Chain A
Amino acid sequence: MPEPHGSTAVSAGAGSTGAPGRSLLEVEGLTSAYGPVRALDGVTLSAEAGRITAVLGANGAGKTTLLRTISGLVRPQAGSVRLDGEDITKAPVEAMVGKGMSHVPEGRGVIAELTVDENLRVGSLFRGKVGKDEFDRVYDLFPRIAERRNNAAHTLSGGERQMLVIGRALLAQPRILLLDEPSLGLAPRIVAQIFGLLRQLVDRDGLSVLLVEQNARSALSVADVGVVLNLGKVVVTDQARTLMADEGLRHAYLGF
């Protein structure tokens, strides 16, 4: 992937410390439903600090519901979510970003009517005044959206939108980034570029990522840990490279 300009990087926030491997986000027995349909059935997993954890599974496995329940958009029927030891199961959605968790929802989540720059500014609103240098760092990271900063976000391509929402999430200085299907509808080259950048943010700046992906092959190639979800239940949790090597599992659940 192309190197971002200079050595600038978006700092991954106050909680970027912590030895890799320490459990940052802990989900225990999480159960939630849309009406009568149970989407999550006692899901237990943890995302470690300074690592990329990929949750994989087919369409309808409950991946999106998992992220939406973690960030409070869906209220769980049972189970708990802890961020760095703090129980955030019942915290309001609006408070999550202040606790260090940024959720980039499925379908990119740009605010189409606002300009690129305004989208970024919304991402930093809750922090009060944010220096211009932080915006510059995001633009350095994603030169393609820098060129279009005054354009309405609906004019961006799919890849540019994904860059915008990741950049916007970084402006919140998260400790952990929740990403819902960032590869959806993107060309493989763009996917590789975005995943490469994530890897860099994790390795260099200590960001932690919980990634939800249907594209298991790409996700496992960048992730440290993989969690396979099927029909709302965790099937297996293991090192990404171990999962990659397990042909039976790949055929059964990951479709490659």
Chain B
Amino acid sequence: MQQFINITLSGLVEGMIYAAFALALVLIWRSTRIVNFAQGAMAAATAFIALALIDAGQSYWIALIVALLSGFVLGAVVERVVIRPVEGGPELNAVIVTLGLFVAIQASIAIIFGSSFQSFPTPFGVRGFEIGDSTIALTPTSLYIIGSVLVVMALLVALFRFTRVGLAMRASAFGQEVARLLGVRVGRMLTLGWALAAVVGSLAGLLIAGGEFIYPAYMDSLIVFGFVAAVLGGLDSPIGAIVGGLLLGLALSYVSGYIERGSALVNVAALVILIVVLLVRPGGLFASSVARRA
């Protein structure tokens, strides 16, 4: 029983990070119909910026804020400079461009920050809380992860639901031409969408780095998991991304916790889950494509 609780807890914590990363992918997909393969590399770049600040003696929190802000700027610049010219063109062009960007950013990180493994700090402890005389797999760091992802999600929900900018962003995402005819500056909204997505992606990158080693390609597996989580959720639905992330986190945790040598199977398991879900529900669990076609 204790093992089950621990495996579930660590799955949920991992799942929160997948959810955040999936959310970043979904935000971009919704607004520009582009799968941003460079999301992981962009997040890695901001993690290296944070680490450089920490190494220079700044606090973790300053570094976090600067990293998120640089994610915002990076997202906006990428959309304006690299993505804008291929928006509205053949879908494959955008895919190739984000793949190229992925390689270019990863290479730039290696050139600027080096490609060795560097340890990334975490602001909170990684010792499990003790309940009675047993230690559970819930640490102050995992509470920090869960809390920060929840805060960011709540802020995004508030932005989209209750603000004029959020409404303009949703209008731009769902009906570009109509939004333009209604006077919405769609270009700006798309830039803002990429910028916010990059912030969320950056947060995921920093959270997964906490207490671990980072190197230019450290986000690669998170891209795969984030992408699987996003597709599980239907790629169109922020809620779906979050549920998809949590489900994937749990499933992978059970695979690595209960199956012998399961940790080696995690990547395979992610793909098996993806294939099964797509076979049963091709649109993902939370597909809203019916509404879109109507």
- Docked Cα-Cα span, A135 to B177, in Å, equals 23
CA–CA, A96 to B185, complex, Å? 12
Assuming the contacts A113-B170, A118-B167, A125-B167, asked whether A172 and B182 have C-beta atoms less than 8 A apart, the reply is yes
B183 partner, pick from A98, A110, A111, A112, beta carbons under 8 A: A98
Q: Are A122 and B292 in contact (CB under 8 A)?
A: no
In the complex, whether B261 has a CB less than 8 A from a CB of chain A is no
Determine if B183 and A97 form an interchain contact, defined as CB atoms under 8 angstroms apart: yes
Interface SS majority for chain B: helix
Question: A98 to B181, alpha carbons, bound, how many Å?
Answer: 10
Q: Which of B167, B174, B184, B294 is A94 in contact with, Cβ under 8 Å?
A: B184
Distance from B33 Cβ to chain A, minimum over Cβ atoms (Å):
14
A93 and B170 in contact (CB under 8 A), knowing A112-B291, A113-B291, A152-B291?
no
Q: Determine whether B115 belongs to the interface, using a CB cutoff of 8 Å to chain A.
A: no
Partner of A113, one of B164, B186, B288: B288
A231 to B185, alpha carbons, bound, how many Å?
34
Q: Is the CB of B181 within 8 A of A93?
A: yes
User: Which residue of chain B is the closest to A152 with respect to CB atoms?
Assistant: B291
- Indicate if the CB atoms of B183 and A114 lie closer than 8 Å: no
How far does the Cβ of B240 sit from chain A's closest Cβ, in whole Å? 14
A residues 120-160 near B (Cβ < 8 Å) are 121-123, 125-126, 152, 154
Q: List the A side residues contacting B266 at CB < 8 Å.
A: none
B215: min CB distance to chain A, Å: 40
| Given A113-B288, A125-B164, also A71-B170 (CB < 8 A) | no
**Chain B residues closer than 8 Å to A103, beta-carbon distance:** 181
Q: Does A109 contact B (CB under 8 A)?
A: yes
| Chain A 101-121 interface 0/1 with B at a Cβ cutoff of 8 Å (1 = within) | 011110001111110001001
B294: A residues at CB distance < 8 A: 112, 154
How many residues belonging to B are interface residues under a CB distance threshold of 8 Å?
Answer: 21
Q: Is A111 within 8 A of B175, CB to CB?
A: yes
- Residue in B168, B185, B288, B291 whose CB lies within 8 Å of A122: B168
Distance, CA A154 to CA B290, complexed state (A): 9
Does A122 contact B177, Cβ atoms closer than 8 Å?
no
Which of B170, B183, B288, B291 sits near A126, CB closer than 8 Å?
B183
* Among B168, B170, B181: residue with most chain A CB under 10 A: B181
Question: Are B292 and A113 touching (Cβ within 8 A)?
Answer: yes
Residues B181 and A125 in contact, CB atoms below 8 Å apart: no
B171 close to A (CB within 8 Å):
yes
When the two chains form their complex, are residues A125 and B183 in contact, meaning their CB atoms are under 8 A apart? yes
C-alpha spacing A123/B183, complex, angstroms: 8
Q: Which residues in A have their C-beta under 8 angstroms from that of B178?
A: 105, 109-111
Q: Across the interface, do A109 and B184 meet the contact criterion of CB distance under 8 Å? A: no
Q: Is the CB of B171 within 8 A of A94?
A: no
Instruction: Identify the A interface with B (CB < 8 A).
Output: 71, 73, 93-98, 102-105, 109-114, 118, 121-123, 125-126, 152, 154, 168, 172
Chain B residues engaging chain A, CB cutoff 8 angstroms: 164, 167-168, 170-171, 174-175, 177-186, 288, 291-292, 294
